[in-house]
Structure 1
Amino acid sequence: MTQHVDVVVVGGGQAGLAAGYHLRREGLDFVILDAGTAPGGSWQHMWDSLHLFSPAEHSSLPGRLMPAQAGGTSPDAGHVVDYLADYEKRYDLPVQRGTRVEAICRDGDRLLVEADTGTWRPRVVISATGTWSRPLLPAVPGRGVFTGRQLHTVNYRSPAAFAGQHVIVVGGGNSGAQIAADLALDGKVKVTWVTQRPPRFLPDDIDGRALFDVATARRRALDAGRSDTGRSDTGGVASLGDIVVVPPVRAARDADLLKASPMFVRVDRDGVVWVDGTRAEADAVIWCTGFRPALSHLAPLQLRSTRGHIATEGTLAVDEPRLHLLGYGDWTGPASATLIGVGRPAREAAREIAALCARN
């Protein structure tokens, strides 16, 4: 039996919940379909030592401040999971768990959402599936012949699994720096941190609050018609660095445990090889090499360009006015992949959807 609603939100993580909050305020009939079996989105799968860049009060979804974590530290991933579960319950958001959306198709004046538990025929779809389920592994020569253990960021939990081993951590972003620091500070793991270019640490006093302020300034500049130059006042933090110096990263860096080696050129059975022929044997390689948006459910709509990108204006898909994309990064709203940043694009999407439903 096909169910009719105003809006189907695909994904019940932070972006899906923020969308639900604003859809409820607009008085729309909606459902949130989530493939996970428990609340918390990707936060329930993060590594054990992960903490947010910012204090709780600067890491909140719309309408509900995140409570401080005991001990006064920046919240860890478990605290975020508890907050998201409470948020979902507090606002009685209609999340259907264990429901995997397989395809979204056009069906006359509506979209048809086909899931493994049934079908929905909404006026509008908000895709909020994030990126965690689609890790990116680089095409490094020889990667398939390595006999040691290979993991992506999504599989890493703690140093305990690597005691007495040599681990190569690949990636010059926040995940790479934090996981390399986590392993190095443990003292029982030999770590080689490899980056494509020399790592660029942000100033020590820059945290998530400052990043959000910069993203907001960028949004205002773009709205005012100024070009996105990449400067810190309009284009993000590109001119300042890539890596937020959270306490474990600072501790490892200051202890001289966080030195980066250049990227190797190939992998062999026992380790990696650099361009000058230098090689290092390794027990494991952890690829902290990023993610791609999880958008396979949108394939029937044929919205991707030849470069694999879906064109958007704000959150609205340019070639499908019944589809919004939320929380995938700056291309769906500056800072929209963050807890504090997703609220504004979620609100704007809900308002646009309410206006569309009122016209039709």
Structure 2
Amino acid sequence: MSAAPRPADVVIIGAGQAGLAAGYHLRRAGADFVILDAQQVPGGAWQHAWPSLRLFSPAQYSSLPGRMMPIPAGGGYPDAAHVVAYLTDYEQRYRLPIIRPATVRTVRRAGARLAVESSAGTWHARIVVSATGTWWRPFVPHYPGMRDFRGEQVHTAGYRGPEPFHGRRVLVVGGGNSAAQILAELSQVAQTTWATLRPPRLLPDEVDGRALFDLATRRHRATLAGQHPVGAGGIADLGDIVAVAPVREARDRGALKAEPMFSRITTTGVAWADGSAAAFDAILWCTGFRPALAHLAPLRLRGPSGLIGTDGTRALAEPRLHLLGYGDWTGPASATLIGAGRTARQLAGEITAQL
């Protein structure tokens, strides 16, 4: 016989950076809440990232509320392991009420509350905060012939380092930060080619995540005020890629030359529209992620774009649901550490008013 549902004012789904930031502010507000996390251990998606992944900002500009991120030994931009250690310390320091592993299967309406059904039981919540992020839903665009390719295809989410590609011919696909960082280290051990939809542009060396966050914040405030956003092109006004140290090193040795995007995939490689072709042993898709929202499907909230309409973090069609940490549509730069923290403060204020 299954256990009876447990009541809670707020259920937060996910104990990554966004969920922890929400928990911090809700605890300060005196709310009754629980955090359900599908992972076995702390660290969120960062524990699954490749070891050399670097943040785009120094530690002091990549902190969650209430606790500064320690500066890594030797300085520089923190790597994935440093972030995992920080998040682990953070949740322990504030004794956040986290239950793990607790995989949330569905969120559905249950009268005046929302029922959150998980592998650890069911909660009936007055408010639900979805903070599951995007890592769990990697995106790979479709190209003709991709099923015929005889080599290896790997997404960023499955990349663990350059060692398996030593001496091989590798095609890196994608024009963002992940592609540039991975290409920088792969190009030292493999024969690499970079394919992008448009020529990538590195940001000036002195520009990092601090400037990008400030830009996103100014644009968001201008939009709310009914003004024309400053820098309408967003990050693209400045460039595409943050020049962290490994990327600068690869740039300086000429390893970041990009080719146009191919038109189809062959059994042995790819072919371009002009008839040229090249053979590869592996294709590495650095093509991003989509919000992991499958658990919200019973609520039927997605619009034509695949996203859920929101006013800030609050779902327009279901005011008992908030979404945090999925990108600018749920708060300025809310998919970053500092952005998630600032958005979580506003979220906690709204939830307190609702309760």
Output the TM-score relative to the length of structure 2.
0.97
Please point out which of 255, 258, 277 is paired with 1:257.
255
Q: Give the C-alpha shift of residue 219 in structure 1.
A: 2.5
Residue-by-residue CA offset, 1:78-122 (whole Å, 9 max, x unaligned): 010000000000000011111110000001110001112210001
Q: Write the distance in 2 (CA, Å) between the matches of 1:345 and 1:212.
A: 12
What secondary structure is seen at the aligned counterpart in 1 of 2:185? helix
Runs of 5+ consecutive residues of structure 1 not aligned to the other structure:
none
Measure the CA separation in 2 of the matches of 1:270 and 1:230. 43
Shift of 1:277: 1.5
Q: Which residue pairs with 1:246 in the alignment? A: 244
* Post-superposition offset of 1:350: 1.0
Q: Write the letter of the residue equivalent to 1:263.
A: M
Cα distance between partner residues in 2 of 1:96 and 1:288: 32
Displacement over 4 Å in runs of 4+: none
CA distance in 1: counterparts of 2:246 and 2:339, whole angstroms = 24
CA distance in 2, matches of 1:224, 1:276: 48
Superposed CA offset, 1:332-356 (max 9, x none): 0011000011112111111111111
Distance 1:145 1:299 in 2: 33
Residue 14 of structure 1: which of 10, 13, 17 is its match?
17
19, 24, 29: which one pairs with 1:26? 29
Matches within 5 A, 1:127-146: 127-146=130-149
Among residues 344, 347, 360, which one is paired with 2:345 in the alignment? 347
Number of residues paired by the alignment? 352
| Aligned residue in 2 for 1:203 | 204
TM-score w.r.t. the length of structure 1 is 0.96
Matched with 2:126 is 123
CA RMSD of aligned residues (A): 1.1
Secondary structure (helix, strand or coil) at the match of 1:86 reads: helix
Corresponding residue for residue 91 of structure 1: 94
Distance 2:162 2:307 in 1: 36
User: 1:229 offset after TM fit, Å?
Assistant: 5.9
The partner residue of 2:294 within 285, 293, 296 is: 296
Please give the alpha-carbon distance, in whole angstroms, between the structure 1 residues aligned to 2:254 and 2:332: 34
CA distance in 2, matches of 1:229, 1:74: 28
Greater Cα offset, 205-214 or 163-172: 205-214
Superposition pairs for residues 104-183 of structure 1, below 5 Å? 104-183=107-186
CA distance in 2, matches of 1:340, 1:301: 30
Distance 1:236 1:27 in 2: 37
Q: For residues 22 and 227 of structure 2, what CA distance do their matches in structure 1 show?
A: 28
Alignment of 1:180-329 (within 5 A): 180-184=183-187, 186=188, 188-228=189-229, 230-231=231-232, 236-329=234-327
SS of 2:122's equivalent in the other structure is strand
Distance 2:83 2:342 in 1: 19
Which sections of structure 2, spanning at least 5 residues, go unmatched? none
Task: Report the more deviating stretch, 209-218 or 153-162.
Answer: 209-218
